[in-house]
Chain A
Amino acid sequence: MSASESASVRVDTSRPHPARVYDWWLGGKDNYPVDEELARRILAVDGTVVRGARANRRFMHRAVRTVAEAGVRQFLDIGTGIPTEPNLHQVAQGVAPESRVVYADNDPIVLRHAEALLHGSPQGATAYVHADVRDVDTLLARAAETLDLSAPVSLSLVALTHYLDDDPAGDDVYGLLERYVAALAPGSHLILSQVTADLSPKAVEQAAENFRRGGQPFHPRPLAAFLRFFDGLELLGPGVIPVHGWRPEPQDVAAQAEGIVPVYAGVARKP
């Protein structure tokens, strides 16, 4: 287990943090009043966010199970967030106990929660990396302490890319994903979901505006821009689709009946 010492930086909790805002939407208790305030403000302008957060979690479960059932035994999850049961390693190790899982997040508090509360199966491995998604080299180097990057890896960024811009001089989200995918072996999988304004433009724009005012950049993407993340990869059926519709289970069909949530999801395989 590689525990990071670099967590000991000053943490600013006077401003809302996306991981804790998300935790509030999921009904978690690891958020502070500033996070709750922003979560409520966004919920007031976009009533789908709570269902959207749950839909993202459930998509992660289905996608990870699918990839594990396809034989992948290594998982790298970036932007893990506050632990919420069931967590990714529980799904992966539920399929194959020997699965090796690395969680990466840039928030030291998230990291300490993960270290304390997430323990994998004895046959597998569960490790935590304190690194930012923008720092590809550090993140991959730390992940490689637990994962064998010459064998297939499932790389997941669930509800993360909408916090990153596509400016080549800024976050360069396309460049980032290209570098991650390039570092992975053939047979690796990419699991992605992110917010779009295609389905309910007004509500999503207002939600985005609230995030921005809270100091958090936010970038909903249209279908074509989301599809671009999977360039050069083979999309698994049914392709890119609103999140509830990705290989839905009865619960997801029921959730869908409550209305669509403005999130795209997709899973692809590296040839």
Chain B
Amino acid sequence: MSERRPAPTVGQVVLGKRLQELRESAGLGRDEAARALRVAAATVRRMETAEVALKIPYVQVLLETYGVPEDEAAAFLSLAEEANEPGWWQRFHDVLPDWFSLYVSLEGAARIIRSYEPHFVPGLLQTEAYARDVMTNGTIAQKGPEAIERHVTLRMERQRLLERPDPPHLWVIMDETVLQRPVGDTSEVMRDQVDKLLEFAERDRVTLQIAEFAAGPHPGTYAPFSLFRFAEPELPDMVTTEYLSGALYLDSREEVAAHLEVLDHMSTAAASAERTKKLLRDFREEY
């Protein structure tokens, strides 16, 4: 990779998909669409899969070719222009892997974020000290103390999302492991962290549920994942699930539904939001 292109924004991903749907419902193949633009079929594919930014004049011609009505096309174009604006997190692109950049973009665009966290407090709710200790013991640490600090700063900036006037709903199911595993050199780190969780648990737009050990196994035991729901009814939910060196982005009906179902099951088996507050207070006493 010689020239690093910033990761796609959620707008680009979603509009790319919409462009593909419009082409398919017009009954056209990529070759035919490409012919209208006098480009290679691969160019159309790259726009549809958000590998490249949406070139506005291209989009205009495509919409015309697909027979999209004028007002709908105008709305699409203005969205495309917006989607090409880089997000605030692009400033961190020195340390931010592409997959995570998309994550931050989704987070900022979502109306509801439902997460499952098997190991750690979710990034949006970590204290700085907690985040630093997690990073220091994570794979980032190989990149040196400076990279760690950049990541901590990024994480703290991400949290401004919840301070917006109209923040998204954050609904998290945390495994009890999260509270049982001490993070930080002193117990103060965990105490402050639990205080922060208690503080956020009081907010209307934050719902925390702990999956207690006593409730037995649950279906979400593998990796952390999040489901993003957007305000626009025509946008499908998206799921991201992390692995050691990256993340998967899932948006097919079957895969999204499988994660939704697991979240729903876990939410009925986990402690209610009210009971979770009590559990947090109990943990607070232990540290």
Contacts and interface: CB of A to CB of B under 8 A. Distances in A.
A8 B267 CA distance: 9
Nearest to A112: B267
Interface in B200-214: 204-205, 207
A119 B274 CA distance: 14
**A5, A113, A115 pick with most chain B CB within 10 angstroms:** A115
B233 interface: yes
Interface in B120-152: none
Given A3-B274, A116-B171, A117-B169, A8 B269 contact: yes
Contacts of B273: 3, 115-116
B265 A29 contact: no
A11 B169 contact: no
Interface string B217-238: 0000000000001000100110
A11 B112 contact: no
A173 interface: no
A261 to B, nearest CB: 21
Contacts of A4: 272
Interface string A140-152: 0000000000000
A108 to B, nearest CB: 4
Interface in A1-43: 1, 3-5, 7-9, 11, 13, 27, 29-30, 32-33
B254 A1 contact: no
A11 B253 contact: no
B57 to A, nearest CB: 33
**B236, B253, B267, B275 pick with most chain A CB within 10 angstroms:** B267
Interface string A110-127: 011101110100000000
A109 B268 contact: yes
Contacts of B274: 1, 3
B130 to A, nearest CB: 24
Contacts of B199: none
A75 to B, nearest CB: 19
B264 interface: yes
B68 interface: no
B265 A116 contact: no
Nearest to A11: B268
Contacts of A108: 268
A33 B267 contact: no
Q: Contact size class for B? A: 20 to 34
B39 interface: no
Contacts of A30: 260, 264
A9 B268 CA distance: 7
A33 B255 CA distance: 10
Given A33-B254, A116-B171, A13 B268 contact: no
A67 to B, nearest CB: 25
B265 A3 contact: no
Interface residues of A, number: 23
A11 B253 CA distance: 21
Nearest to B229: A29
A29 to B, nearest CB: 6
Interface string A97-113: 00000000000110111
Contacts of B253: 33
Contacts of A27: 233
Contacts of B257: 32-33
B267 A109 contact: yes
B169 to A, nearest CB: 6
**B169, B237, B265 pick with most chain A CB within 10 angstroms:** B265
Interface in B230-287: 233, 236-237, 253-254, 257, 260-261, 264-265, 267-275
B1 interface: no
Contacts of B254: 33
Nearest to A27: B233
B215 interface: yes
B172 to A, nearest CB: 10
Contacts of B236: 29
**B112, B254, B264 pick with most chain A CB within 10 angstroms:** B264
11 contacts: A1-B274, A3-B275, A5-B272, A7-B272, A8-B215, A9-B268, A13-B265, A29-B260, A112-B268, A115-B272, A117-B207
Given A5-B271, A13-B264, A112-B264, 12 more contacts: A1-B274, A3-B272, A3-B273, A5-B272, A5-B275, A8-B270, A11-B264, A11-B265, A109-B264, A109-B268, A112-B268, A117-B207
